Amino acid sequence: MDTKVFQLDEIEQAAALLKQGELVSFPTETVYGLGANAQNEAAVKKVYLAKGRPSDNPLIVHVSSIEEVNAYVEEIPEAAQTLMEKFWPGPLTLIFKLKPGAFADTVTAGLDSVAIRMPDNQATLALIKAAGMPLVGPSANTSGKPSPTTAQHVYHDLQGKIAGILDGGETGVGLESTVLDTTNPEAPVILRPGALTKEALEAVIGTVYVDRHLVSEEEKPKAPGMKYKHYAPDEPVIIVDGSSESWQAAIAHYQDQGEKIGLLVNETRARQFKGQVAEVFSLGKEGSVAEAAKALYAGLRFFEKTDVTLILAEAYQRDGIGDAYMNRLEKAAGHHYFND
HEC assignment per residue over 228-272: CCCCCCCCCEEEECCCHHHHHHHHHHHHHCCCCEEEEECHHHHHH
Domain with CATH 3.90.870.10 in the chain: 4-210
- Mean pLDDT within 238-260: 96
- CATH 3.40.50.11030 domain span(s) along the chain: 237-332
Q: What is the mean pLDDT of residues 275-284?
A: 97
Mean pLDDT for all residues in the chain: 95
Q: Which fold has domain 4-210?
A: DHBP synthase (3.90.870)
Cα of 94 vs its chain's centroid, Å: 15
Domain 237-332 fold is Rossmann fold (3.40.50)
Question: Per mean pLDDT, which range of 8-17, 183-192, 213-222 is the poorest?
Answer: 213-222
The pTM (predicted TM-score) of the whole model is 0.94
| C-alpha 121 chain-centroid distance | 15
List, for residues 50-107, the tens digit of each pLDDT value.
999 877 789 999 999 999 999 999 999 999 999 999 999 999 999 999 999 999 999 9
Q: What is the mean pLDDT of residues 7-19?
A: 98
Q: Which residue has the higher pLDDT, 165 or 227?
A: 165
CA gap 194, 177 in Å, rounded: 5
Is the predicted pLDDT of residue 158 greater than 90, yes or no? yes
Give me the pLDDT at residue 216, please.
57
Say whether pLDDT at 227 is over 80: no
